[in-house]
């Protein structure tokens, strides 16, 4: 297990989630991170279903408290691989749902592109972090996945919620817990 290790000048900080959530407050916008540990995936369709369950007061199929969600929909898994290409989805497509999910305990998000003012305020309120993943690097991110398991909404195919174990996912802190950002 990789422990939170402050990066030296020019080298990324190594963080393990959910173990190192306490260091999120020390991260600064623009800082490079190698993220390891357990994360969930969810895109538009999964977010919409979660939101409908929340509105109906029904239990969620996954625990959000303390989780980090990667906005991705993996491509079909090639033979001999753990997962297909899994590049980031534009995060703004989830912005309508994000403040509610953050207030339910979601702590980290991984995607690409800027976030709305409402999301930035919710990040600040909840002490969460938005990490930027590099578009066009889906094959690289797939190589960083150690295991994958479908945990909810299997009928959504690539937009189902998956549990990924990752090792050294290269990311940048896009919006830190203070609401400061790179955009």
Count how many domains the chain has: 1
Mean pLDDT, residues 158-179: 98
Mean pLDDT value across the chain:
94
| Domain carrying residue 64 | 13-175
CATH code at position 144:
3.20.130.10
In a domain, 158, yes or no: yes
pLDDT at 7 over 70: no
pLDDT at 153 over 60: yes
Span of 3-7, 24-28, 114-118, 152-156 with lowest mean pLDDT: 3-7
In a domain, 180, yes or no: no
What is the pLDDT, as a whole number, of residue 9?
56
Do residues 177 and 128 lie in contact, with contact meaning Cβ atoms separated by under 8 Å? yes
What is the pLDDT, as a whole number, of residue 98?
98
Nearest to 126 by CA among 70, 64, 169, 55: 64
Sorting pLDDT into bands at 50, 70 and 90, what band is 84?
Answer: very high
- At a CB cut-off of 8 Å and minimum separation 6, what does 155 contact? none
- How far apart CA 86 and CA 22 sit, in angstroms, is 27
In a domain, 182, yes or no: no
Q: Structure pTM?
A: 0.94
In a domain, 72, yes or no: yes
Sorting pLDDT into bands at 50, 70 and 90, what band is 2?
Answer: very low
């Amino acid at each position: 297990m990789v422990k939170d290790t402050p990066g030296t000048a020019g080298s990324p900080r190594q963080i393990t989630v959910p173990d190192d959530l306490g260091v999120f407050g020390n991260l600064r916008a623009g800082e490079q991170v190698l993220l390891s540990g357990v994360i969930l995936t969810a895109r538009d369709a999964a977010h919409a279903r979660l939101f409908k369950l929340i509105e109906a007061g029904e239990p969620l199929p996954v625990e959000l408290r303390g989780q980090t969600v990667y906005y991705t929909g993996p491509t079909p898994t090639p033979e001999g691989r753990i997962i297909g290409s899994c590049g980031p989805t534009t995060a703004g497509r989830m912005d309508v749902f994000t403040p509610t999910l953050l207030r339910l305990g979601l702590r980290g998000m991984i995607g690409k592109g800027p976030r709305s003012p409402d999301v930035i305020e919710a990040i600040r309120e909840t002490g969460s972090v938005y990490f930027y993943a590099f578009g066009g690097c889906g094959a690289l991110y797939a190589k960083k996945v150690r295991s994958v398991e479908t945990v909810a909404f299997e009928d959504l195919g690539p937009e189902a919620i998956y549990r990924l174990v990752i090792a050294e996912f290269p990311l940048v802190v896009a919006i830190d817990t203070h609401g400061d950002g790179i955009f």
